[in-house]
Amino acid sequence: MSSQESTLPQLPPELQGTVQLSVLDQLYNWSRKRSLWPMFFGLACCALEMIASFDPRFDLARFGMEIMRASPRQSDLLIVSGTVTKRMAPQVVRLYNQMPQPKYVIAMGACAISGGPFKEGYNVVSGVDKLIPVDVYVPGCPPRPEGLFNAVFALHKRMDQERIADLHWYQKGEEQGIPVPELGPDLIDYRLTASNIPSDYQPARLKTVRPEQVVTQGEEG
């Protein structure tokens, strides 16, 4: 487990040593992480490796991810496996919006992270995080099933650090979905339009947009 230990999310310095996860937090996190249900969302070649990670040799069901649901309403985890094309972009966003909270996204494979080898194509979205927020990225073309397991464990580690008091799906306010892009002369993402952006907007260096942060607390995204 070499490349990862330094990249775990760290608590901010002022909170380290003061925050403790209560038993209730730990129980809550444990029960959520041991019963993640992925959605059957295979787009391209990585889908074969994702299916292979459910076959008898690797068997992701050992970790509680037994049920692979086709319906987004019944699933917790969206494994984006394969190239996201512009034509598919509206459906990806629509499916993500339909998933109920808590929901997590793993971007599996080079194409889902950044467009991969097809990045220069005219029909390819260079990374699914241009459309939806992503929790874990797994590079590889395609990543081995064990690489996907590793991503799932990284997601578990991330889930282990959540506290019930901070969870954004328990806050007040209504969650807005991500606006669904449309197909025009090229892919139109309505978050890029002039009317949505405040006048003093400075483009942040390629940050992903988390709609929950933008809307519910009133803070800047």
> C-beta of 119: minimal distance to other proteins in Å?
6
Q: What gap in Å lies between CA 25 and CA 205, rounded to an integer? A: 34
Residues 14-33 that bind other proteins (CB under 8 A): none
Minimum Å gap between C-beta 23 and other proteins is: 26
Q: Total number of residues binding other proteins (CB under 8 A)?
A: 87
Placement of tokens 């494994």 in the chain: 79
Q: Which two tokens stand for residue 68?
A: 């692979």
Kindly state the DSSP code that residue 188 receives in the 8-state scheme: E
Does the protein bind other proteins through residue 134 (CB under 8 A)?
A: yes
What is the token pair recorded at 122?
A: 């005219």
Question: What is the three-class DSSP state of 137?
Answer: strand
Q: Is 159 in the site for other proteins (CB under 8 A)?
A: no
Q: Does 122 bind other proteins (CB under 8 A)?
A: yes
Q: Is position 202 an interface residue for other proteins (rule: CB under 8 A)? A: no
Q: Which of 36, 44, 80, 93 binds other proteins (CB under 8 A)?
A: 44
Peptide bond into 100 cis (omega under 30): no
| Cα-only R_g, the chain | 18
- The least CB distance from residue 52 to other proteins, in Å, is 7
In this chain, which of 13, 17, 198, 203 binds other proteins, going by CB under 8 A? 203
Q: Is 193 in the site for other proteins (CB under 8 A)?
A: yes
Q: Do the beta carbons of residue 116 and residue 141 sit within 8 Å? A: yes
